[in-house]
Amino acid sequence: MANDSENKNENISENISENVNEAVAEATETVEKEVTEAVEAATEAKEEAKEEVKPSAKKADKEPKLRSNSAAKRAYAALVYIVVAFFAILAIIPFVYMFCNATWDSGSITSSFKLWPNFANGINQAKQNYHTLTSRATFSFSDGFKNSMIISICSTLLTVYFSALTAYGLKCYEFKGRNVVYAIIVGVMMVPTAVNITGYYRLMNTMGLVDNKLSLIIPAIAAPNTVFFIKQYLDSSFSLDIVEASRIDGAGEFYTFNRISLPIMVPAIATQAIFSFLGSWNNFFAPSILLNKTSNKTLPLMVSELYGDRFVDYGAIYFGLSMSVLPVVIIYCFLQRFIISGVAAGGVKE
């Protein structure tokens, strides 16, 4: 597809990376600005939008086969822009609201609707909110962050390495039953992962892994979706000649995989690593059952405790929510191109 605004996307990333400290306010502001720039002010008024689309409309007019008259086409284009802009804004407005309100005190938040950060005293108020959150909460966000990081990073590494290994094994070796194994892997992708939870809990209980991060990390070795995706990638862009050549040169099979084939698979692995990481980071169901100790809880579990009515300080709540969103937003800003191409390639599991 057209890459018109790729530069703009990079701008977003740069802007945010420039000042991570103020990213709460910056990210949303920048994104908002970029939207406005990108659709060239189509967000504010119909007229503006109409003017903007004129050039493209004129260009289109020159095409001989077009049957619609230019005025109707312009109106149609304007409508499209407005709808698209509306949904683009709808997609980010909650985050803008969340980040902005993280810099306000509870009183201001609950007395009037605010879609702008606290310019006057935002940083101090954010600090204050942080103190309120940490002093009132029975949990610590840093612990949650640490736990989430450990689980997500470990399981991502395991997922991509072993999935690559499996996909490579299926691709390069014509062993007996290869097709059956592959068919089974594709088949089990359809099995809802949550249905075995009672059996899984019992198993973890027997193995003594309840309330242990390992119970969420080890199963990551077997990720049918990732295997499927990497296998697809290998089928389309991996030549067995490389393996042959490597064998002739006397390299062992694992050496070939680790040193020669794995680097070739990097694009597919990178995409899958992102999804695996996000999936693990956002996971709530299994951790909510397997992790009971406060010191073991992951970030989503901590966030879910922000619900309780013990928390009535809206500033602190929005601060906590923003903190849980921020890492993902930052990762997303840098990697959105890979993510979106990954989704387009159908490699996303629901």
Partner 1 sequence: MARGKTKSAKKRNKGLSYVKFGYLFIAPFVIVYTIFSFYPLLTTFWYSGSNMTSTKAKFWGFDHQEAYYDQFLDLSEFYGDDFEEQVGITKMEYLTLRYYFQAQTSALENDPLSGKGIKALQEAIDQGKLEGVSADTCAKLNQAIAEKNLALLDNDALKELKDWRSNYVDDTLTITNQLMRISTNLKLLANPEIEDEEDSSDEEAITAASIIESDDFTAFIETLKTEEFSDGTVMLMDYLAKAVGYEDLVTYFTDVQNGSVAVEDSSFYFVCTNLNSPKAVDAEGESIDGVSVPFLSKVKTYLSTSEWPNFITSLNTYEKLNDYANRKIDLHNGEEDLLADLTTLYESGLINNVQLVEEGGKLVQAQDKSQNIIYAMKAYIDENYQSDATLSFSSSQLSKIDAYLQNQGRGMLVALGYDNVDTYIEFSDSLEESDINIDKYLQFKTDIGLLDVLTYDKYLELDANFKAARVEEASAKLAEAEAALPEAQAAFDAVAGQEGTDEYEAANNALIAANIEIERQTDKVNNPKGLLQQVNAKAKYVFVGTENFNKIFTNKTRFNSVFGSFANTAILWILGVIPQILLALILSAWFTDTKIKLKGLNLMKALMYLPNVITAVTVAIFFRRVFAYSTGASRSASQLVLEMFGHPEGYNFFASAWATRFIIAFINFWMWYGNTMITLIAGISAISESLYESAQIDGANTFQTYTLITLPLLRPILLYTMVTSLIGGLQMFDIPQNINVNPALINFNGSMIRSTRTVLMYINQQAFGMQDLKQVGIASAVSILLFFTTTILSVIIFYLMRDKDAIKAQQAKKKAKKEAALKNG
Among residue numbers 126 through 145, which ones bind partner 1 (CB under 8 A)?
135
Among the residue ranges 15-23, 43-51, 73-81, 116-124, the one whose residues contact partner 1 (CB under 8 A):
73-81
Q: How far is 133 from 127, CA to CA, in rounded Å?
A: 10
Site string for partner 1, 39-58 (x = CB under 8 A): xx---------------x--
**Residue 141 CB, nearest distance to partner 1 (Å)?**
12
Rule CB under 8 A: choose which of 150, 242, 251, 339 binds partner 1: 339
Nearest to 128 by CA among 149, 109, 147: 109
Question: In the complex with partner 1, which residue's Cβ is closer, 249 or 350?
Answer: 350
Amino acid 287 reads: P
Do 342 and 271 meet the contact criterion of CB atoms below 8 Å apart? Answer: yes
* Backbone Cα Rg of the chain: 25
Rule CB under 8 A: choose which of 95, 99, 104, 229 binds partner 1: 95
Task: Scan residues 185-244 and list those touching partner 1 (CB under 8 A).
Answer: 185, 188, 190-203, 218-219, 221-222, 224, 227, 240, 244
**Residue 350 CB, nearest distance to partner 1 (Å)?**
3
| Residue environment code for 209-238, b if the CB has 16+ CB neighbours within 10 A, otherwise e | bbebbebbbbbbeebbbbbbbbbebbeeeb
**Residue 222 CB, nearest distance to partner 1 (Å)?**
4
Among the residue ranges 118-126, 137-145, 158-166, 262-270, the one whose residues contact partner 1 (CB under 8 A):
158-166
**Residue 18 CB, nearest distance to partner 1 (Å)?**
18
99 binding partner 1? (CB under 8 A): no
The secondary structure of 126-190 as a DSSP string is HHHHHHHHHHH-SS-HHHHHHHHHHHHHHHHHHHHHHHHHHHHHHHH---TTHHHHHHHHHHHTT
Question: In the complex with partner 1, which residue's Cβ is closer, 116 or 201?
Answer: 201
Rule CB under 8 A: choose which of 3, 21, 69, 236 binds partner 1: 3
Question: In the complex with partner 1, which residue's Cβ is closer, 22 or 219?
Answer: 219
Give Dmax (Cα) for the chain: 75
**Residue 119 CB, nearest distance to partner 1 (Å)?**
20
Residue 187, phi then psi, degrees to nearest 5: -65, -45
Q: How far is 159 from 149, CA to CA, in rounded Å?
A: 15
| Total site size for partner 1, rule CB under 8 A | 124
Place of tokens 């697809």: 232
Task: Scan residues 242-301 and list those touching partner 1 (CB under 8 A).
Answer: 244, 247, 253, 257, 278, 281-282, 284-285, 288-289, 299-301
**Residue 87 CB, nearest distance to partner 1 (Å)?**
6
Q: How far is 325 from 156, CA to CA, in rounded Å?
A: 19
**Residue 208 CB, nearest distance to partner 1 (Å)?**
14
**Residue 192 CB, nearest distance to partner 1 (Å)?**
5
Q: In Å, how far from its chain's centre is CA 344?
A: 14
Rule CB under 8 A: choose which of 186, 251, 328, 330 binds partner 1: 328
Residues 6 or more apart in contact with residue 81 via CB below 8 angstroms: 39, 42, 49, 52, 53
Amino acid 27 reads: A
- Give the number of residues written for the chain: 350
Nearest to 34 by CA among 80, 70, 88: 88
Q: How far is 70 from 54, CA to CA, in rounded Å?
A: 9
Tally of CB atoms within 10 A around 116: 16
Among the residue ranges 4-12, 18-26, 139-147, 149-157, the one whose residues contact partner 1 (CB under 8 A):
4-12
Rule CB under 8 A: choose which of 97, 145, 334, 338 binds partner 1: 97
**Residue 73 CB, nearest distance to partner 1 (Å)?**
7
